[in-house]
Structure 1
């Protein structure tokens, strides 16, 4: 069994631990991008979600070239039997923005996937254990929506001692004001970087 603990924001590994996944000190989280957009307010989110997906796809490609892993984290929509393949197929069937999101961010065979029941990618999911297995230190949090699931995920990452980057062009909210206020809060309170995706690998 692999046992880890957080120590002042860093992970200390058990001497007996054996990794089954390649190490990735930096990990890209894609939160709720594979999405049927069938909730109130989705029509206000759709256009900016597609723009965020496009920017995230470019960032994801650059991170893959550097050997960093990506994890898709999605709502289970109340059906724990659901999976990403089924969800992606449903989004393609719906057409419009849901189909466009899948087209921009089709999962790579090496990508990892987690289902979540609530806003945060960490709540009641194995994400923290998975990140420990990867040896992650820094999380790049992208997705929908900036002021809900992205913000909750970034907050939970921060309290667990991860460095947090939220590329401003890789998230979307229903209004520009909601996005701006959420990013400003994450920068001020969580000490998160909120620079654009083109700067996300500069440090």
Structure 2
């Protein structure tokens, strides 16, 4: 049996960057999908792993990143998806969730082989993470309703690339499952 984990990417965000306003509208649309995946994963006792940029704050940790995001420009986009006490948390410095992080090791310890990716930004961190997952032989699923973008055309192209070139399963939110079932 393949264990499935939900990976929540970069949802702890202060929205204080150049592309923030273009991103905010898309995050508002994706937020219910992310919340739904969090609920399903938690209900199925599937591992939930938050992987988040540290925004160059090298002495920060999960609690500090959560507080900074909640004090940022759009706390209403952060509060509904903050990590609970069972969530696992990894800080990343660059686009991919795997690049110089212990995520591969953690997933191996959890016996996870299937990743459901959600969060932001589809045409950047989600894309690079799906590629790195693919080269590490993880199965990847993505619901377009649970990922946010800056550029809608690039996001559509990124989803197509993930499906075509990286064997990712791009599927409606309602078709994603956790636990013993696979999407």
Query: Under TM normalisation by the shorter chain, which class is it?
Result: over 0.9
TM-score, normalised on structure 1?
0.84
Q: Secondary structure at the match of 2:18?
A: coil
Whole-angstrom distance in 1 between the partners of 2:4 and 2:20: 30
Distance 2:136 2:72 in 1: 37
Q: Aligned Cα RMSD in Å? A: 1.6
CA distance in 2, matches of 1:78, 1:153: 19
- Name the counterpart of 2:62: 84
- 1:162 equivalenced with 2:125 (yes/no): no
Hey, what does 1:70 align to over in structure 2? 48
Contact 2:113–2:139 (8 Å) recurs in 1 = yes
Partners in 2 of 1:74 and 1:193 — Cα distance?
23
Aligned residue number for residue 128 of structure 2: 152
CA distance in 2, matches of 1:179, 1:49: 13
Other structure's SS at 2:169 match: coil
Structure with greater Cα Rg? 1
Alignment: residue pair count: 179
Q: Is the 1:26–1:69 contact (alpha carbons within 8 Å) kept by the matching residues of 2?
A: yes
Which residue does the alignment assign to 2:153? 177
Note if contact 1:54-1:104 (Cα within 8 Å) is conserved in structure 2.
Answer: no
- The 4+ residue runs of structure 1 with deviation greater than 3 A are none
Contact 2:13–2:72 (8 Å) recurs in 1: no
**TM-score scaled by length of structure 2:** 0.92
- Runs of at least 5 residues in structure 2 that lack an aligned partner in the other structure: none
